[in-house]
Structure 1
Amino acid sequence: MLDPRSPMPLYRQLADELAEHIRDGLYAPGARIPSEHQLASQYDLGRPTVRQATEVLVRQRVLERRRGAGTFVAERPPEVDLFSLGGTLESFRKRGLTLRTRWLERIHRCEVGEDADQPFAGRRAFRAARLGSLQKEPVLIETFYFDPSAFPDLDQSPPGPAASLSAHIGSRYNARPSGGRQSFKIELADDSAAEALGLSPGTPLLEVVRTLDFPSAPAAIHTVLTCNTSQLVFSQDLGDLTYA
């Protein structure tokens, strides 16, 4: 119930109540919510107040307006576990999604700058970058660095852009990661990432940085994933948890 005596504005109270109804399943994803006229009558509010409330939820991507049809609960974006060690393509496949990829940079040798914040700083490495799209919408950029001593001549027989790099490394070099580290943070899109992902420069993006160890080569693969979070929900499966 809304409280006219509360210091919280009525439109915020209504926005919170509608959001709670959505979380509780009263309005399912894709369902049309009552019209502004119906909500105004139900809560004894003016239509401008109702419009303010629904606009809050539209900005939060909880609701979406469809011209000539009304206001609907936004469909939940697909959820993908990008934090596993099984590889990006496999993570999408497990969710029943097909990630289409193309090379932005084919595998080539490069000199990594000494001031780079990564294991290959000041050293030579193989580098590659590819763009992943879901239903023709770009969703992420993967930038890879490989240890040339662990994966010699990788640039001479590279996998195709749609191939799993994890599977290629495993089959060609009989190598499987034994562990690794990863971190994630929010970064603002630079001009290059913005152009590739079809966004405006400065758009917030999720950056996942992953370094993989192999039994005979620690920190042999370093990957930076730049992710557009407006298209997907990125999650992490913690598996079975045992408490002592």
Structure 2
Amino acid sequence: MFDNPFVEDALEHGPVPLYYQLEKHLRSRIAADEFAPGVPLPTEDQICKEYKVSRITVRRALEGLQRQGLIERRRGLGSFVLENRLGINSQLTGSLTEFLAKAGSLHTANLGLTEAAPSSAIRKQLELGPHESATLLRTIGLLDDMPVAYYEIWLPLDIGSKLPGEELDGHMPVIRLVERVAKARVTRAEQTIEPGHAGEEAATHLHIDAKTPILHVQRTYFAGDRPIELANVRYHPDRYRYAIELKG
């Protein structure tokens, strides 16, 4: 069922985490219709043997595919490819350096830096323990003194507790300060963009109604295998445009 001549050389040991390479490889096979919707994927043990990776690597890759809406994991039954009935999941790759350079055009205003209890979903994203607290940083992104984006940024406590509060106002992206504090370089980021509503807190700072439709962006930054920042961003609908250039 999993006889693929390219599997053996699919993954390489290097700066890109194995689970991310595996996730990308499985995603390409799903896109090529190798696995039919509703039919179980190979078991975790089968994937471990074929790709010569650990069970932890396989589970993290499958979790990534599940977050993207490509598969459904059923307890005791396995993982199944979902039929694409609810929309299109587009996977695009870009330069993190270029993205952060553009992000520096916004002026960041610090609204508060506190220790808080994250939700179970945020704990999972940051790989925190079940009772582990985290640092919550709330900021507003301004362009020409006009609010463009409202940020709720979650950080592991060992990193967030060391952030220099006096440097959180300015044009430097928060992740660059996080890199300095963590003494680690961001190697990649995962981002999802979905429609949503502003909500009371974001609406107050963006000067819009709480029920106003907005773009909700969730962005997770990784240093190696470790997630070091999770940012939930709500953008002002009249002051933010998301444009992508696709080259042939």
Instruction: Return the TM-score normalized by structure 1.
Output: 0.53
Residue 103 of structure 1 pairs with residue 110 of structure 2: yes
Q: Which runs of structure 1 show a deviation greater than 6 angstroms over 4 or more consecutive aligned residues?
A: none
- Residue 167 of structure 2 aligns to a residue in which SS? coil
User: Which whole-Å deviations, capped at 9, do the CAs of 1:182-221 have from their partners, x for residues lacking one?
Assistant: 1110111212111110001211110110111112x52221
More strand by share: 1
Kindly state the Cα deviation for residue 156 of structure 1 after the two structures are TM-superposed.
5.9
- Structure 1 pair 158–221 and aligned structure 2 pair: CA distance change class (3 A): farther
Match of 1:85 in 2: 96
Contact kept, 8 Å, 1:84 with 1:236, in 2: the verdict is: no
Percent of matched pairs sharing the same residue: 17
Count of equivalent residues: 151
Alpha-carbon distance between aligned partners in 2 of 1:127 and 1:84, rounded to the nearest angstrom: 26
Alpha-carbon distance between aligned partners in 1 of 2:95 and 2:124, rounded to the nearest angstrom: 20
Q: Which of 1 and 2 has greater Rg?
A: 1
Contact kept, 8 Å, 2:149 with 2:206, in 1: the verdict is: yes
More helix by share: 2
RMSD: 2.9
Contact kept, 8 Å, 1:84 with 1:91, in 2: the verdict is: no
User: Structure 2: which 5+ runs fail to align?
Assistant: 1-93
Alpha-carbon distance between aligned partners in 2 of 1:103 and 1:230, rounded to the nearest angstrom: 22
- Residue 168 of structure 1 aligns to a residue in which SS? helix
* Aligned residue among 134, 139, 148 for 2:143: 134
Instruction: Return the TM-score normalized by structure 2.
Output: 0.52
Contact kept, 8 Å, 1:184 with 1:206, in 2: the verdict is: yes
Letter in 1 for 2:167: P
- Structure 1 pair 237–213 and aligned structure 2 pair: CA distance change class (3 A): farther
Contact kept, 8 Å, 2:163 with 2:181, in 1: the verdict is: no
Letter in 1 for 2:101: E
Contact kept, 8 Å, 1:89 with 1:99, in 2: the verdict is: no
Alpha-carbon distance between aligned partners in 2 of 1:141 and 1:208, rounded to the nearest angstrom: 10
Alpha-carbon distance between aligned partners in 2 of 1:127 and 1:174, rounded to the nearest angstrom: 20
